[in-house]
């Protein structure tokens, strides 16, 4: 048996109006009472018996009921047309003529479709099929729009090292190789630094109302660069005009010569401020400052001075700060040792030892080597601190901390509570809306309450919008929390009494020596796990 929806037909008479009901066949859909009443209301049938009508269309057998004692109604075949929200489809739903009514001609169907402003993608085959084999109270796709062909974003391919996270290698003997870092992208005059692939805008579509449907907006890019670089005539390539090194800063390519200091930074040089990178063959003496927009590389000792870099800082000997050094880098810090220094890094920190220093990094902190130790001071990382030894057998006061600001988690809890409250409001309003609609359909809803139907719907939509915005904010905070889910402190040898361990806001005081362990926050408490 073929599937067929249930449908109805109005039978007009001189003194009454009847409705004939045809039940569904197979897996066909049942009639909705609201659909029938809407039809009768629009047709002008008055004083019909809603109870009889409801009993008729909810029956399982074919039947007929007199629903009104006011006769002389005549109905022609009719079509109701609805356009989907995306305007890509027009759906037609036909209703049968009354006993004495007439069927629609093809021209009348087309005219009705056009009167509903559906002018593109009309499905002639579907219309012809209905005329030949009519099925009533069934959704028929009478027009289909053309969806747009989506384009693609522009993108840039960089022919130099843009990921500046290269780390030194650990040698077989336990020492760390600070000599072959390859962190600087050296380039030659004439090198192609970047290649632009332009965006594809895509192809517009057309909806059933004849309106253009644009594809999603694609990202447009242009090649941006500083001095020492030329762009080809077609705007698709960046060419180096000088030897030096290339960096990428906020989607802009820079090339600069490296400023070499052949000996110490001292009275003979004064303070150094440079737009590129600086290489210092000697020491940086106490009281002097080196500021570079690129990298700073020092082959000697850094004393009680100030270093500031927009890129990485690489110190082949180390820092003998004497409590007077101020080291700041937006990138990574690699140093043989750190003693008596104040250090802040936007990337990771890699060193053999940290002694009586304040070190803070957004990335990992590695204290490793043959006798790697972290003793005294305050050392913090967003993600990881790894050291062979933390603290000392003499009980040196040492603070180590990892993890995200716990205030973020409080914000998530607050937002989740607000979302839950809005969802409960919507649930109550939806229940009230359902009750009022039933009363309206039964014709028992007070006239003064009918405007509430529209207002309740608007309030539900407004709440849904607020819920969506809050959930998006929650997702952004959750990503921050997820990033630090694995925040931990790793001790490959010993952590000693006198050390304070803090993970994501929770802390633990070390009262006895612990070996070969990892400290991690699990279910709001710090757990000590074996390596």
Tell me: the pLDDT tens digits for 19-41?
888 988 888 888 888 888 888 88
Find the length of the chain: 531
Q: Which helix (H) or strand (E) holds 319?
A: strand 318-329
- For residues 137 and 180, membership in a common domain is answered with no
Q: Kindly state whether residue 223 falls inside one of the protein's structural domains.
A: yes
- For residues 196 and 128, membership in a common domain is answered with no
Interval 425-474: pLDDT, tens: 988 888 888 888 888 888 888 888 888 888 888 888 898 889 998 888 88
CA–CA gap between residue 269 and residue 310 (Å, rounded): 21
Which of 121, 144, 167 delimits the end of a domain? 144
Q: What pLDDT score was predicted for residue 223?
A: 96
Range of 58-62, 296-300, 361-365, 484-488 with top mean pLDDT: 296-300
Q: Kindly state whether residue 392 falls inside one of the protein's structural domains.
A: no
Q: What is the count of structural domains for the chain? A: 3
Check pLDDT > 90 for residue 368.
no
Quick one: average pLDDT of 483-509?
Answer: 88
Interval 281-309: pLDDT, tens: 999 999 999 988 889 999 999 999 999 99
* Residues 6+ away with beta carbon under 8 Å from 381: 349, 360, 361, 362, 363, 364, 365, 401, 402, 487
- For residues 105 and 227, membership in a common domain is answered with no
- For residues 95 and 122, membership in a common domain is answered with yes
- For residues 11 and 96, membership in a common domain is answered with yes
DSSP string, 489-502: EEEEEEE-TTEEEE
- For residues 136 and 19, membership in a common domain is answered with yes
Check pLDDT > 70 for residue 165.
no
Q: Kindly state whether residue 55 falls inside one of the protein's structural domains.
A: yes
Angle CA 310–311–312, to nearest 5 = 130
Q: Kindly state whether residue 371 falls inside one of the protein's structural domains.
A: no
Does residue 79 sit in helix, strand or coil?
Answer: strand
Q: Which of 68-82, 206-220, 338-352, 361-375 has the lowest mean pLDDT?
A: 68-82
Rounded mean pLDDT of the chain?
88
Residues 326/328/334/336 CA torsion (nearest 10 deg): 0
Quick one: average pLDDT of 196-201?
Answer: 96
Closest CA to 295 of 317, 276, 315, 318: 276
Q: How far apart, in Å, are the Cα atoms of 443 and each of 7, 287, 530?
A: 23, 89, 73
Quick one: average pLDDT of 252-262?
Answer: 85
- For residues 137 and 158, membership in a common domain is answered with no
- For residues 128 and 205, membership in a common domain is answered with no
Domain of residue 15: give its range. Answer: 7-144
Q: Kindly state whether residue 420 falls inside one of the protein's structural domains.
A: yes
Q: Kindly state whether residue 332 falls inside one of the protein's structural domains.
A: no
Which of 144, 163, 194 delimits the end of a domain? 144
Selected residue with higher pLDDT from 479 and 293: 293
- For residues 138 and 161, membership in a common domain is answered with no
- For residues 170 and 120, membership in a common domain is answered with no
C-beta separation of 78 from 104 below 8 A: yes
Q: Kindly state whether residue 513 falls inside one of the protein's structural domains.
A: no
Quick one: average pLDDT of 58-77?
Answer: 81
Check pLDDT > 50 for residue 519.
yes
Interval 438-450: pLDDT, tens: 888 888 888 888 8
**Residue 449 DSSP symbol:** G
Q: Kindly state whether residue 304 falls inside one of the protein's structural domains.
A: no
Q: Which helix (H) or strand (E) holds 429?
A: helix 407-441
Q: What pLDDT score was predicted for residue 180?
A: 45
- For residues 136 and 184, membership in a common domain is answered with no
CA–CA gap between residue 458 and residue 336 (Å, rounded): 65
- For residues 166 and 112, membership in a common domain is answered with no
DSSP string, 327-364: EEESS-EEES-EEEEEEEESS-EEESEEEEEEEEESS-
C-beta separation of 240 from 191 below 8 A: yes
First vs last C-alpha separation in the chain: 68
Interval 223-248: pLDDT, tens: 999 988 999 999 999 999 987 778 88
Q: Which helix (H) or strand (E) holds 439?
A: helix 407-441
Q: Which helix (H) or strand (E) holds 507?
A: strand 506-509
Which of 242, 257, 272 delimits the end of a domain? 257
């Amino acid at each position: 048996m073929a599937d067929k929806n249930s449908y109805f037909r109005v039978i007009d008479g001189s003194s009454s109006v009847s409705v004939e009901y045809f039940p569904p066949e197979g897996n066909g859909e049942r009639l909705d009472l609201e659909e029938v009443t809407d039809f009768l209301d629009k047709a002008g049938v008055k004083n019909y018996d809603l109870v009889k009508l409801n009993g008729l269309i909810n029956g399982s057998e074919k039947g007929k009921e007199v629903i009104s004692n006011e006769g002389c109604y005549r109905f022609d075949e009719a079509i109701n047309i609805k356009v989907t929200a995306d305007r890509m489809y027009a759906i037609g739903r036909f209703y049968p003529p009354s006993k004495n009514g007439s069927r629609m001609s093809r021209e009348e169907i087309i005219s009705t479709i056009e009167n509903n402003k559906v002018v593109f993608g009309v499905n002639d085959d579907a219309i012809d099929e209905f005329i030949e084999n009519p099925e009533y109270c069934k959704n028929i796709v009478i027009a289909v729009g053309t969806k747009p062909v989506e384009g693609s974003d522009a993108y840039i391919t960089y022919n130099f090292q843009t990921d500046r996270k290269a780390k030194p290698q650990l040698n077989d003997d336990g020492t760390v190789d600070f000599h072959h870092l390859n962190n600087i992208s050296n380039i030659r005059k004439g090198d192609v630094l970047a290649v632009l692939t332009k965006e594809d805008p895509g192809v517009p579509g057309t909806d059933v109302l004849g309106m253009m449907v644009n594809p999603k907006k694609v990202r447009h890019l242009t090649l941006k660069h500083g001095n020492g670089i030329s762009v080809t005539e077609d705007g698709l390539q960046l060419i180096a005009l000088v030897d030096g090194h290339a960096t990428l800063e906020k989607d802009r390519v820079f090339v600069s010569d490296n400023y070499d200091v052949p000996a110490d930074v001292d009275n003979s040089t004064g303070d150094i401020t440079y737009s590129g990178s600086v290489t210092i063959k000697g020491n940086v003496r106490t009281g002097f400052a080196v500021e570079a927009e690129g990298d700073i590389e020092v082959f000697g000792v850094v004393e009680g001075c100030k270093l500031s870099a927009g890129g990485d800082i690489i110190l082949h000997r180390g820092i003998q700060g004497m409590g007077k050094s101020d080291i700041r880098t937006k990138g990574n810090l690699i140093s043989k040792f750190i003693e008596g220094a104040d250090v802040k890094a936007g990337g990771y920190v890699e060193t053999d030892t940290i002694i009586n220093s304040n070190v803070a990094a957004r990335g990992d902190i590695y204290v490793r080597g043959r006798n790697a130790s972290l003793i005294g001071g305050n050392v913090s990382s967003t993600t990881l601190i790894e050291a062979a030894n933390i603290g000392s057998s003499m009980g040196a006061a040492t603070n180590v901390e990892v993890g995200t600001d716990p205030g973020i988690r409080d914000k998530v809890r607050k937002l989740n509570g607000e979302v839950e409250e809005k969802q409960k409001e919507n649930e109550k309003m939806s229940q009230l809306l359902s009750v009022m609609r039933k009363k309206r359909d039964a014709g028992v809803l007070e006239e003064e309450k009918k405007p509430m139907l529209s207002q309740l719907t608007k309030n539900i939509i407004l709440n849904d919008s607020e819920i969506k915005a809050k959930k998006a904010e929650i997702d952004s905070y959750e990503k921050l929390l997820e990033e630090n889910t694995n925040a931990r402190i790793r001790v490959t040898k010993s952590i000693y009494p006198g050390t304070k361990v803090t993970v994501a806001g929770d802390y633990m005081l070390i009262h006895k020596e612990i070996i070969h362990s990892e400290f991690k926050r699990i279910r709001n408490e710090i757990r000590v796990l074996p390596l």
